[in-house]
Amino acid sequence: MQAPKILIALSIILSTSINYSQSNSTTEEEIDSFLNGLTGEEFSGTILVAKNDSIIQKRAYGFASKELNVKNETDTKFNIASITKTFTAVAVLQLYEAGKIDLNAPIGKYLKDYPNEKIRESATISELLTHTAGLPNFYVTNFLDRCKFGFKEVKDFLPLFESEPLLSEPGAEYNYDAAGYVLLGLIIEEVTGSSYYHYLNKNIFEKAKMPNTAAYSVDAIIENKASGYTFAGDTTKPLKNNIFYLSKASPGGFHYSTVEDLFNFNKALFNNKLINQETLEVMIEPRVKGYNTHLGYGIDVDQRYNEIILGHSGGWYGISGEIIYLPESGYTITILSNVDSAMDSGKAMVSDFFKNLLAGNIE
């Protein structure tokens, strides 16, 4: 007797559901096995894994304070370096969405007194967002030799680059920099009449439920904060504390956050709690080829895998972190680390594991 069509359809649906469930279960077993085998010698920091809007793993490894033998916890606060740039980009896009910022306008429309005429008259907001304005990355040029206590407001970072020569003509080529994001922070202040830090607190961190994210003063005493440890470029020397390599956050880097706060941020962003879907599409459109991936506005669009990966990384002396989001399969991984490591260990090794497992081999 021929089975009724409805039973055949139900059988196909059930079979598909079982296969998907088995595949999903296998993937999560591999994740669990990897995290169970990871040691504090291989990776120091915290890792969060989520599927859609639910956290499925949250682990901590290594030490927040090597001096005091204090272990990292899953809610330990870490410096996130350049992941801050994504916060800044979202703030700019909120103002674009509100009709207060023209992405194609030269920055002189908002910063009328900026001293570099070429940047003022021809570099656009879009070019600042995509690192194509020709500005230098002051963190790797003039920053390290300065006293870090003087950086309290966004404008305090201007002397690090405003008189420096350009790396290229605005719009001509990609050069990763922090200076453009400082200018974006100043534009946010000019347009809103509020400080950059206050704007982010009210319009991003509170909305996205990020209570542990902030721009701390370099000498602030913060509960449950990880110290950073660096070889300072010479792996033959002992690790040392990275405190003298840091300052209060600029719009280009150095906020503190937790893996769960970063997950909440990513979830709010892609659930249209921070910007609407149309603006989100503007943000994630691949616009420029960077050193490894394509970039949208303040976000990496990695097309090297079988599934597109969206996110942003951050790295500095004693700092390494990343948001990894796979919109097709629904996985989010947030990783924060406080110790320098080689490319086959530490954050890079953890990141590569998840990307290859979840998005397929590099083409």
Going from N- to C-terminal start, the domains of the chain cover: 27-359
Which fold is adopted by the domain 27-359? Beta-lactamase (3.40.710)
Three-state SS for 281? helix
Per-residue pLDDT tens digits of the chain, which is 363 residues long: 344 444 334 344 344 444 444 456 799 999 999 999 999 999 999 999 999 999 999 999 999 999 999 999 999 999 999 999 999 999 999 999 999 999 999 999 999 999 999 999 999 999 999 999 999 999 999 999 998 999 999 999 999 999 999 999 999 999 999 999 999 999 999 999 999 999 999 999 999 999 999 999 999 999 999 999 999 988 888 999 999 999 999 999 999 999 999 999 999 999 999 999 999 999 999 999 999 999 999 999 999 999 999 999 999 999 999 999 999 999 999 999 999 987 778 999 999 999 999 998 655
Residues in contact with 312: Cβ distance below 8 Å, sequence separation at least 6, in sequence order: 82, 83, 85, 86, 298, 299, 300, 322, 323
Contact 258, 78 (CB under 8 A): yes
d(CA 170, CA 90): 22
Q: What is the pTM of this model?
A: 0.92
CA of residue 225 relative to chain centroid, distance? 18
